[in-house]
Amino acid sequence: MLIKLFKFIAIAVLVLVLILGINTWRNSSKQLVVPVLPELKVDTNLVSEHLAGAVRPRTVFSFLSEDQGAAEFQKLHRHLETSFPNLHRVLKREVVNGQGLLYTWIGKDAKAKPILLLAHQDVVPIAPGTETLWQQPPFDGVRKDGFVWGRGAWDNKSNLISQMEAVEMLIASGFQPERTVYLALTHDEEVTRHDAQSMSELLAARGIKLDLVLDEGLMVTQGVVPGVEQSVAMIGVAEKGYLTLEFKAVALPGHSSMPPATGTSAIGQLTRAMDRLEHQPFPASVSGVGRQMLETLAPEMSGFGRVALSNLWLFEPLVRRQLEASGGSSNAMLRTTTALTIIHAGNKENVLPGVAEATVNFRLMPGDTSESVIARVKQIIANEAIEVKMVPNNSDPSPVMSADSPAFMALNRTVREIFPGTLVAPGLMVAATDSRRFVDVSEHIFKFSPVRAAKEDLPRFHGTNERISEANLAEMVRFYHRFLSVTVGPVAGK
């Protein structure tokens, strides 16, 4: 009997190992094989000067100033006009909402669907108190040690300048696009995103459907994906949703010498609700875009990682626990996240406040909605006396774009050509971009910046000592030049 059982177990283990092995072996590389391209000659010094000049105008969009810094945006516009004369001679320029710019490069084939490249002109302000931590002043446009330094050098004037530089070079070489290309330069991306909405509506009113929208997003990272040695370019195919909720607990104000019954103070009710929210996160799963990404990268890994990611049917719980434990962006890829960001209550040590308020920011996974999150939140805090209110400017998660479309493939191919040896995989953007406003005019919206970023560079984004390497800037120009040549050139347009 016992021998029979051992035999059975041995056979079962053998079969399992065989299945795992076959799945791992069958999950072969999904990376496109591309021929080596001759490197396009880019005037790195010139493009670096153009970027440095674009960093100098302090294009911080602000509700506080009535004209929202119009003069600074105007300075940037003049800089673009002088830097890119061919572009300004050939492309049509429309002003949207005062400082937003929509450029149209009309294609020869009126029937071919146009494409649109997005880049925002505005930058985030310098966090008060961090000014002195900058190695170079943030708005001087300093070039030093092979980098262009300053606020916006990376986010997002690098994309803006390299896109324009590529168009300028193409025009100079006599290139004419088969299909129309739009360059959408918004000026309120970090704040309201009205420009993107207006531009999208403008195109919709003209009956235009876009074959592709490309916006800033995921990047070419090195050492960020555990178990993968090569650099990895993730192309964002979806964006998480954004929801902020305000919580308000009220109680009778009174003197601290006579506190109310346990658990009924405004602060007590509110902090208990917040504690519950933090300790009962939304469920995590390795599914959707995250799963697609892992399965795409699995064949490039070695050892157990490759086996586990090629057999998620069995190892999903293990992989999920590991990703959850890594925290940060790995955890954010798995679930709708809950972030406690503001809390206010009380102003005197011997007075019980009548009101306690807190703000919580959620980033929603595709599949969740504001309604589903609010319903779950109310269930978790389990206190109907606490008022839950939505803060305006929410958005549900974007639709998930197909990673099999010709538009995605064109991006994928260009990355493989310009960044040799880099792995490409679809990815989920955990932050929000302008491109989400274009869902009514395109079914192919992708979020990718041809920017190289190592782990230690990530804090520079919206942070201190923002910079971009001049060598990378040249690669960015090559990327857009190649991408435009292929997607709107004579072959692709036919």
Among 24, 48, 156, 338, binds Zn ion (CB under 5 A): 156
Please tell me whether residue 159 binds Zn ion under the rule CB under 5 A. Answer: no
Give least dist CB 120 to Zn ion, A.
6
Of 155, 165, 189, 300, catalytic: 189
Nearest residue to 47 (alpha-carbon basis) of 489, 484, 450, 469: 469
- Read out DSSP for 159-215? HHHHHHHHHHHHHHTT---SS-EEEEEES-TTTT-HHHHHHHHHHHHTT--BSEEEE
Question: Residue 270 CA to chain centroid, in angstroms?
Answer: 32
Give least dist CB 156 to Zn ion, A.
4
Confirm whether 189 is a catalytic residue. Answer: yes
Q: Which stretch binds Zn ion (CB under 5 A): 201-209, 215-223, 285-293, 368-376?
A: 215-223
Largest CA distance in the chain: 88
Give the x/- contact pattern for Zn ion in 464-493, rule: CB under 5 A: ------------------------------
Nearest residue to 422 (alpha-carbon basis) of 219, 225, 220, 223: 220
Please tell me whether residue 188 binds Zn ion under the rule CB under 5 A. Answer: no
Q: Which stretch binds Zn ion (CB under 5 A): 149-157, 192-200, 281-289, 448-456?
A: 149-157
Distance in angstroms (rounded) separating the CA atoms of residues 357 and 266: 9
Burial class (CB in 10 A: 0-12, 13-18, 19+), 349: exposed
Please tell me whether residue 357 binds Zn ion under the rule CB under 5 A. Answer: no
Query: Smaller CB distance to Zn ion: residue 216 or 466?
Result: 216
Query: Smaller CB distance to Zn ion: residue 155 or 417?
Result: 155
- Residues between 46 and 85 with contacts to Zn ion, criterion CB under 5 A: none
Edge-first strand listing for the sheet containing 143-144: 143-144, 147-149, 467-469
Q: Which stretch binds Zn ion (CB under 5 A): 16-24, 214-222, 306-314, 347-355?
A: 214-222
Give least dist CB 121 to Zn ion, A.
10
Confirm whether 417 is a catalytic residue. Answer: no
Give least dist CB 91 to Zn ion, A.
23
Query: Smaller CB distance to Zn ion: residue 157 or 335?
Result: 157
Assign 71 to helix, strand or coil: helix
Cβ(151)–Cβ(70) below 8 Å: no
Q: Which stretch binds Zn ion (CB under 5 A): 209-217, 281-289, 362-370, 423-431?
A: 209-217
Query: Smaller CB distance to Zn ion: residue 216 or 300?
Result: 216
| Structure tokens, 300 | 């490039």
Give least dist CB 382 to Zn ion, A.
38
Of 72, 122, 168, 368, catalytic: 122
Query: Smaller CB distance to Zn ion: residue 159 or 231?
Result: 159
Cα distances from 332 to residues 263, 283, 296, in angstroms, run: 33, 11, 19
Query: Smaller CB distance to Zn ion: residue 155 or 368?
Result: 155
Q: Which stretch binds Zn ion (CB under 5 A): 63-71, 151-159, 179-187, 373-381?
A: 151-159
Give least dist CB 20 to Zn ion, A.
42
Please tell me whether residue 99 binds Zn ion under the rule CB under 5 A. Answer: no
Query: Smaller CB distance to Zn ion: residue 61 or 315?
Result: 61
| Structure tokens, 10 | 């041995």
Among 72, 155, 417, 470, binds Zn ion (CB under 5 A): 155
Give the x/- contact pattern for Zn ion in 108-147, rule: CB under 5 A: ----------------------------------------
Cβ(104)–Cβ(91) below 8 Å: yes
Distance in angstroms (rounded) separating the CA atoms of residues 257 and 255: 5
Q: Which stretch binds Zn ion (CB under 5 A): 133-141, 155-163, 326-334, 464-472?
A: 155-163
Nearest residue to 160 (alpha-carbon basis) of 181, 186, 137, 179: 186
Distance in angstroms (rounded) separating the CA atoms of residues 100 and 186: 5
Give least dist CB 99 to Zn ion, A.
16
Q: How many residues does the chain have?
A: 494
Q: Which stretch binds Zn ion (CB under 5 A): 109-117, 153-161, 330-338, 393-401?
A: 153-161
H or E stretch at 445: strand 445-454
Cβ(230)–Cβ(300) below 8 Å: yes
Query: Smaller CB distance to Zn ion: residue 156 or 310?
Result: 156
Nearest residue to 412 (alpha-carbon basis) of 490, 485, 479: 479
Give least dist CB 242 to Zn ion, A.
14
Distance in angstroms (rounded) separating the CA atoms of residues 113 and 488: 10
Burial class (CB in 10 A: 0-12, 13-18, 19+), 100: buried
Assign 115 to helix, strand or coil: strand
Angle value at C-alpha 52, between 48 and 58, nearest 5 degrees: 155
Q: How many residues bind Zn ion (CB under 5 A)?
A: 3
Give least dist CB 118 to Zn ion, A.
10
Q: Supply the DSSP symbol for 9.
A: H
Query: Smaller CB distance to Zn ion: residue 185 or 308?
Result: 185
Active-site amino acid positions = 122, 189
Footprint on this chain of Zn ion (rule: CB under 5 A)? 155-156, 216
